[in-house]
Structure 1
Amino acid sequence: MLFFIFEYKGTIKGMDFSTKVIQSLFNAILPRTTGFASVNPAEFAVPTVLMVCLLMWVGGSSQSMAGGVKVNTLAVILLSLKATITGHKEPSAFNRTISASAVNRAYSVAVISTLLVFFFTFVLLFLEPQMSFKDIIFEVMSALFTVGSSMGITAELSSASKYTLCMAMFLGRVGLLSILMGFLGAQKEIDSTYPTENVIIS
């Protein structure tokens, strides 16, 4: 619906109503993993680019070949947020309590992915000052979340920028959390408990 509204007078202008609906549905699914393009992403309105970037960040379901943080991760975060707002001790769904380890992992994946977006966007903006922010953020998120879409600027990027995007694609496919756990997960756990302290969060 949002794609239909944002692009009604844009990339789907001139199409008949049924084609506009199909194009809107198709292009709302594409950012989840595929990388196909039935319309030119370079002509997207700014709100559409923001929406597509959000869809690329979310990605598909866990254990699928889709990129992104995964739908399950977002669901756990939203359920945890709901539990916090409503005063429940633990998040739950379908008469089941979600484990604390799953909640911690979900937040870790979301935070790490967001930091990586900022990092790679910052690097590319530094390396390609002549490029627009809209094009750079789209290119970074497409690479990091292994979508494969492009604003058409890839060929114009310098070698350093292309290597940077390659690194983003590798981290996005393997997962930085998986890499960190591979290096740090084998360390011996320290069997100790520290006093509990409340931290002011406002």
Structure 2
Amino acid sequence: MVDPVRLRERMVREQIMARGVTDSSVLVAMKTIPRHLFVEEALAFKAYNDSPLPIGEGQTISQPYIVALMSELLEIEPGMTVLEIGTGSGYQAAVLAQMGADVFTVERIRKLFYTARKRFMDMRMFNVKLKLDDGTMGWPEQAPYDRIIVTAGGPEIPEPLIDQLAESGRMLIPVGETKRNQTLVLIEKKDGKIIRTDKGSCAFVDLVGSHGW
């Protein structure tokens, strides 16, 4: 395998910066986190390609650009609390943690949960906390959250997640009336009001749960 440090630098330069992502903390995190450790060894040589990859259980790790774009749209500042719905491989949570956030991430699939937890332990990322549960219900015990990111697409925005978003908070979630064909939606809570902004089309795995499919 080619030097992963060089592969990450090229990934950031050609896939992320070339498409307009400029947040320096995002770029540094994407250069730092070893993405090849978040996929199966047999797929490690594809880890820095411009595409999503399967991680088992019918789930995927998002393409690098989408991870970078969503991380930038969240406008993370060190010390913020972030709720992530859909841990998956753990890569998105690792990027946010590298940016200085305290990440609370919820995964519904037991195998993915335990695999991601071991990765975080091995990488000594102690600012990531995991929970095995229905992500559409959020993690109310740790609320409110400065930021919420949902990495699966559902038919609507789960009400529990809106309730757990702090005042002046930001939430990103893919929403669509049909599966695998969604719009990335930015939700902002200001003075108790919800402001919705569409950020373009996207395709994510299904958000499954009480407030999902």
TM-score by length of 1: 0.23
| Higher RCO (CA-CA < 8 Å; seq separation 6+) | 1
Larger Rg: 1
- TM (norm. structure 2) is 0.22
